[in-house]
Amino acid sequence: MLWPDCLNRLKLDIKESNVASWLLPLHAKEEEGTLYLLAPNEIVCGIVNENYHKIIQKHIHDITGDLEHKVTILVGTQVEQKASSLQKAGTKKISETIYQPNIDSNSMKKRTFINYLNKKMSFGNYVEGKSNQLALAASWHVADNIDNDYNPLYIYGGVGLGKTHLMHAIGNQLRLQDPEASVIYLHSEAFVNDMISALRTNSMDKFKEHYRSVDALLIDDIQFFVNKERSQEEFFHTFNILLELNKHIVLTSDTLPRDVKGLTDRLRSRISKGLSVELQPPDLETRVAILRKKSEEAGLHLSNDVAFFIGQRFNTNIRELEGALVKLIATVKLTKTSNITMDVVKHALQDQLISLNSKISIDLIKKAVADFFNIRIADLDSKSRKRALVRPRQLAMVLCKELTQSSLPEIGRNLGNRDHATVIHGNKKMTKLIKEEKNMEEAYRIIKRSLTN
């Protein structure tokens, strides 16, 4: 028998637990030079397709000696064809069995494991410093997969300090050690969106099965779960199941679990049982080390003076530091400058340096906008959809995006706890209005001048 023979060979290549979880549940059927493997559900189907299809195919070629012999993996059950429909079709015999997929090919594609890991963020290019020592050590511990003492691992800290990078590094490392490990990285908003679409399409069972069958679940920025109780509830259940199964969970957020607003007590207390580690703003030495590493990667040499000058100025977060370096590299390449002097740096970074000096905050922008339109700052935060308030609010979004270093979610949070999709929408709308309506263009120009002069 072809499949039992093949299974015996696979058992020599693949971990026993994986054979039991993914290969034994398959039901095999031979038909016209194709081995059909029927998976009981989409998860098994997706995993086998992604991880084992090639090796199964190789063994089948070896056993049959026929390079044309195909292997097809489907979700399906074996069904007997009814005589009438067969006769109508006129092609198959009554005794023949066909394989009926339970789902359409689109949804099958969706259920295969997409891990969303960014390969560019690894431990290899993460610079260690005092500010991230503990978080880095804890992340390595999880990634090394020796034991699961720190579960969940909760990494917190301000914007641009390297939380997302560490999370991807953990996921990539887990996959490096075991390419078959199913690791999912997701922003908390994507988790919520996925759940909403599962609710809408009546496929909550699949949703649950999907998330509850992973080896590691990495959820970024859980502060955006704020007030989404149903999602939190769902996440909590998934979370408990994965913890019981001793699977890894890594979470990030901008503050300690106890300070994350809108988190249910149950979730908060469960998270607190793991390990929380903080990423602090990097000290000067680490900032310079990061600059050096990143500039070397780009094939650029920075003198000590230049590296310290940039490191000293861009001192709040690493994203900002990177932004400055990217600008410098672009300028140097465009102008074909070979000697990166202080003058070159000051000239290339003049815009960034000005905005650093002026330190325009979201609060300052809100005040300027409220003053101009003669409304209260609280009106900008309010839920009101009155046009007289929506427009100033959207204008504030545009100005915050342009004049501060804040991320879109951060801008949204500071404007009445709106999500970043709302900020994107507001920005788009207002940018268009500024171009089309004289009044808005004037408001924009006057407020911006009052802030930047």
Does 132 bind ligand ADP (CB under 6 A)? Our answer is yes
Tally of helices (H runs) and strands (E runs) in the chain: 23, 9
Site string for ligand ADP, 389-418 (x = CB under 6 A): ------------------------------
Tokens 């075991």 found at: 178
> Residue 126: which of Mg ion, ligand ADP, none does it interact with, CB under 5 to 8 A by kind?
ligand ADP
Does 188 bind Mg ion (CB under 5 A)? Our answer is no
Does 290 bind ligand ADP (CB under 6 A)? Our answer is yes
Distance CA 57, CA 35 (A): 9
Amino acid making up residue 420: H
217 three-class SS: strand
114, 190, 192, 336, 342 from 110: Cα distances, Å:
8, 14, 16, 46, 52
Does 126 bind ligand ADP (CB under 6 A)? Our answer is yes
Does 287 bind ligand ADP (CB under 6 A)? Our answer is no
> Residue 162: which of Mg ion, ligand ADP, none does it interact with, CB under 5 to 8 A by kind?
ligand ADP
Closest distance of CB 279 from ligand ADP, Å: 6
Closest distance of CB 289 from Mg ion, Å: 21
**CB closer to ligand ADP, 213 vs 352:** 352
Does 419 bind ligand ADP (CB under 6 A)? Our answer is no
What angle do helix axes 387-403 and 362-373 make, rounded to 10 degrees? 140
322 three-class SS: helix
Does 121 bind ligand ADP (CB under 6 A)? Our answer is yes
Does 317 bind Mg ion (CB under 5 A)? Our answer is no
Closest distance of CB 293 from ligand ADP, Å: 7
CA dihedral over 315, 129, 172, 122, signed as positive or negative: positive
Closest distance of CB 186 from Mg ion, Å: 12
Return the range that interacts with ligand ADP (CB under 6 A); candidates 67-75, 152-160, 417-425, 435-443: 152-160
The site that binds ligand ADP (CB under 6 A) totals a number of residues, namely 17
Does 127 bind ligand ADP (CB under 6 A)? Our answer is yes
Closest distance of CB 146 from Mg ion, Å: 26
Please list every residue from 21 through 80 that binds ligand ADP, using CB under 6 A.
none
Return the range that interacts with ligand ADP (CB under 6 A); candidates 36-44, 161-169, 328-336, 421-429: 161-169
CA dihedral over 335, 338, 344, 349, signed as positive or negative: positive
Please list every residue from 318 through 357 that binds ligand ADP, using CB under 6 A.
318-319, 322
159, 356, 360, 403, 439 from 400: Cα distances, Å:
15, 14, 9, 5, 19
Go through 86-96 and write b for each residue having 16 or more CB atoms within 10 A of its CB, e for each that does not: beeeeeeeeee
The closest alpha carbon to 369, from 382, 358, 380, 381, belongs to 380
Does 160 bind ligand ADP (CB under 6 A)? Our answer is yes
**CB closer to ligand ADP, 162 vs 311:** 162
Local structure of residue 48 (DSSP, 8 states): I
Which residues, 6+ apart, have CB-to-CB distance to 111 below 8 Å? Answer: 42, 43, 45, 46, 206, 210
Return the range that interacts with Mg ion (CB under 5 A); candidates 128-136, 158-166, 298-306, 397-405: 158-166
The closest alpha carbon to 154, from 223, 244, 227, 214, belongs to 223
Does 206 bind ligand ADP (CB under 6 A)? Our answer is no
- For 430, other C-beta atoms within 10 Å of its C-beta total 24
Closest distance of CB 218 from ligand ADP, Å: 12
Phi and psi torsions of 276, nearest 5°: -105, 130
Distance CA 426, CA 436 (A): 15
Of positions 49, 51, 151, 164, contacts Mg ion by CB under 5 A = 164
Closest distance of CB 142 from ligand ADP, Å: 16
Output the residue with the shortest Cβ distance to ligand ADP.
162
- What residues line the site for Mg ion (CB under 5 A)? 163-164
Residues of this chain that interact with ligand ADP (CB under 6 A) are: 121, 125-127, 132, 157, 159-165, 290, 318-319, 322
